[in-house]
Amino acid sequence: MLPALAPCLLAAAAAAPVYIRAGLLIDGTGGPPRRDQVIVVRGERIESVLGASAAVVPAEASVVDLSRATVLPGLIDAHTHVFLQGEDPAEGGYDAQLLRQGLAYRAARATVSVRRALEQGFTTIRDLGTEGAGYGDVGIRQAIEGGYIPGPRMFVATLAISNTGGYPLEDYAPELQLPKGVQIADGPVEARKAARSQLDKGADWIKVYMTHRSWLDAAGELVSQPTFTVEELRAIVEETHAVRKKVACHAYGGEGLHRALEGGCDSIEHGLDLDDAAVAQMARQGTWYCPTLSVYHYEWEPEGTPAGMRDRKRAAVHDPSFRKALRAGVRIVFGTDVGGFPWSDPMAQEFARMTALGMRPGDAIRSATSVSAEMLGMAGRLGVVSPGAFADIVAVSGDPLADIDALSRVGFVMKGGAVFKNDFR
């Protein structure tokens, strides 16, 4: 048995404050950056933020000196897949991960994915589907929360939902019974039951595929196959909203995207091909837009082939869609779809894509901090460096407002008051 004193000592140690000196502080709210600040962290929360001249460091406090760095809230990636490892055809692409890799292997690699996220300053992720790895994301989240493996805070979507003909594995001999990368449901009754069952088993979000295959029509326009009807989606949305959770809809454009908006989805994922009516409806309804620009620049099929033309068209129509949404004031959240590309590649590449399309660096930072936090129902608790928020804090050298690529060089990561990495020592 532990001596009776031990818990008290632990509590005292936890209560000793940490004083973080910030050379420049971008607090995530969009306000002007502030020089020479001190962030007081006690336990897992931020207690106060003071001007350096006003801060008196008590004897029991420890000090983290980031006075040569820019300090920001921990970043949020609102679209990841920790159970996917890119889709390199040389490694068998998507299908091999479902057909040749057991759950233990995939879970082991997912522990590396979540560590990679944290190393890059992403202290929170919304992981949108395990792609055939069942409820593995619930287990990874649990292992992180239990302190067994390092990783970000996770909002998980478990299996994700599509309908018959709406998701891989596909294009095999029709006699074969194959695993699917999602839960398949048809009709409002099955759709409702799928949502209930995923929520029951630990989903924080429900992910629905509202479009599937895409191709070019005779006029060279991108067409996307719609999946669920509005009635089916409404059943899912009703169940999810009833327990105060949200629905993310993968939708490229056209009919499927319009049904997603009509059915009451909370966030549009990808939104490659947004027409004016869709943009107006998103702005009106307050739908979040998670564009995931970078991933559509990976693994293009050869030029001149139908698939190659489709891949190039997808990327080409994405840019004007993003610009339109930005102009219309649609709430844009940062998401990479990492896992769709390898976890060894930088997640911060998405910032450069967003700013290249006209988003101001400060707004790109907000999209990966306070705006995403609001979507996650965590306004004021995540995505800001403010009193009362979780002490999820990162630092970079240089000023990301002047050079957005600075965000790809995160040198300090604190999550919930615990330092994970500090290259500024």
Residues that bind Zn ion (CB under 5 A): 337
Q: How far is the CB of 270 from Zn ion (least distance, A)?
A: 8
Contact 190, 233 (CB under 8 A): no
Q: Select 23 or 291, whichever has its Cβ closest to Zn ion.
A: 291
Q: How far is the CB of 190 from Zn ion (least distance, A)?
A: 23
The Cα 77–Cα 365 span in angstroms is: 11
Amino acid letter for position 61: A
Q: Select 21 or 246, whichever has its Cβ closest to Zn ion.
A: 246
Q: How far is the CB of 77 from Zn ion (least distance, A)?
A: 11
Q: Select 252 or 390, whichever has its Cβ closest to Zn ion.
A: 252
Q: How far is the CB of 335 from Zn ion (least distance, A)?
A: 8
Q: How far is the CB of 341 from Zn ion (least distance, A)?
A: 11
Q: Select 273 or 337, whichever has its Cβ closest to Zn ion.
A: 337
Q: Select 252 or 351, whichever has its Cβ closest to Zn ion.
A: 252
Count CB atoms within 10 A of the CB of residue 44: 14
Q: Select 69 or 157, whichever has its Cβ closest to Zn ion.
A: 157
Contact 48, 387 (CB under 8 A): yes
Q: Select 49 or 375, whichever has its Cβ closest to Zn ion.
A: 375
Q: Select 131 or 232, whichever has its Cβ closest to Zn ion.
A: 131
Q: How far is the CB of 268 from Zn ion (least distance, A)?
A: 12
Q: How far is the CB of 217 from Zn ion (least distance, A)?
A: 25
Amino acid letter for position 352: A
* Residues in contact with 72: Cβ distance below 8 Å, sequence separation at least 6, in sequence order: 25, 26, 27, 28, 121, 365, 369, 385, 393, 394, 395, 396, 400
Q: How far is the CB of 128 from Zn ion (least distance, A)?
A: 5
Q: How far is the CB of 242 from Zn ion (least distance, A)?
A: 25
Give the closest residue to 335 by CA, choosing from 374, 290, 373: 290
The Cα 159–Cα 167 span in angstroms is: 12
Element (H, E) at 251: strand 246-253
List for the chain the helix, strand, coil content (%; round to 5): 35, 25, 40
Q: Select 167 or 228, whichever has its Cβ closest to Zn ion.
A: 167
Long-range contacts formed by 163-167: CB under 8 A, 24+ apart: 163/191, 163/227, 163/228, 163/232, 165/212, 165/227, 166/209, 166/212, 166/225, 166/227, 166/228, 167/209, 167/212
Q: Select 83 or 351, whichever has its Cβ closest to Zn ion.
A: 83
Instruction: Locate all alpha helices (DSSP H) within 243-390, ordered by sequence.
Output: 254-262, 276-285, 306-327, 349-356, 361-367, 370-375
Q: Select 70 or 336, whichever has its Cβ closest to Zn ion.
A: 336
* Residues in contact with 1: Cβ distance below 8 Å, sequence separation at least 6, in sequence order: none
The Cα 288–Cα 170 span in angstroms is: 30
Contact 28, 73 (CB under 8 A): yes
Contact 343, 295 (CB under 8 A): no
Q: How far is the CB of 337 from Zn ion (least distance, A)?
A: 4
Closest chain position to Zn ion (CB): 337
The Cα 341–Cα 414 span in angstroms is: 26
* Residues in contact with 57: Cβ distance below 8 Å, sequence separation at least 6, in sequence order: 19, 38, 63
Element (H, E) at 213: strand 211-216
Q: How far is the CB of 269 from Zn ion (least distance, A)?
A: 6
